[in-house]
Copies of this chain bind each other. A is one copy, B any other.
Amino acid sequence: MAAPTSEAPAANDRGKLDSQKARRIVAAMRQSVGRRGATGSTFDQVAGEAGVSRGLLHYYFGSKERLMAEVVRHDCDIRLARLDEALGGADDVEAMVAVLVSGLEDMVERDPGAYALIFELFTASRHNEELRDAMADLYRRIREHLGRVLAAKEEAGIVKLRGTPEGVASALFALGDGLALQMLSDPDTDSSETLDAAIATAESLLGGG
């Protein structure tokens, strides 16, 4: 068949993308995009940070876009895991909202890159179909996942949703993303008033207060 270089990232060998090196590359790319932006992340730097040669990025992923698509998938997993961990123990509306808010604050302060990554990937995805599909898929999965969690909490009588589980989940994410955008773009402004209003909003979405 064709040379390995042009086929490497195809589904033919998903196992290859599970290798240690491939994982290191994806992780390095994720961090770099968060810090330097998508266009600011060059193969040279990323390869260096992953401790591999520049050529290997091509060997594994074929193109920058496909590498970014892989970052999207990886990021999705990370976010889902965090979400589950955080929401698992919350057993009333206030606790759930508090968990979400503190998670947000924590992320914005400790690892702004992780949030910036979303916006970077979004802007990049507007000019590449492959990436757009991956992003849409990520959002869908996260939304459905949180939707299921919310439905379970409602079943357990902990929340009383103001809408369908997925709709409420989406609205919560929208709120969180928008807040992060504000907090990141203007870190010096005190955001407590905004957070208070957002908390009231989130609680009303979950049928609390």
Q: Which residue numbers of A lie inside 8 Å of B, CB to CB? A: 36-40, 116, 119-120, 122-123, 125-127, 132, 135-136, 139-140, 162-164, 166-168, 170-171, 173-179, 181-182, 184-186, 188-189, 191, 193-198, 200-201, 204-205
Contacts and interface: CB of A to CB of B under 8 A. Distances in A.
Copies of this protein in the assembly total 2
A176 B178 contact: yes
Given A136-B189, A163-B193, A170-B194, A201 B184 contact: no
B193 A164 contact: yes
Contacts of A191: 170
Contacts of A168: 197
Given A39-B39, A122-B181, A166-B193, 13 more contacts: A116-B123, A135-B185, A140-B186, A140-B189, A163-B193, A163-B200, A164-B196, A164-B197, A167-B195, A170-B193, A170-B194, A176-B178, A201-B204
A116 to B, nearest CB: 6
21 contacts: A119-B181, A122-B181, A122-B184, A132-B185, A135-B185, A136-B188, A139-B182, A139-B186, A140-B186, A162-B200, A162-B201, A171-B175, A171-B197, A171-B201, A174-B181, A174-B182, A175-B178, A175-B201, A177-B178, A178-B178, A201-B204
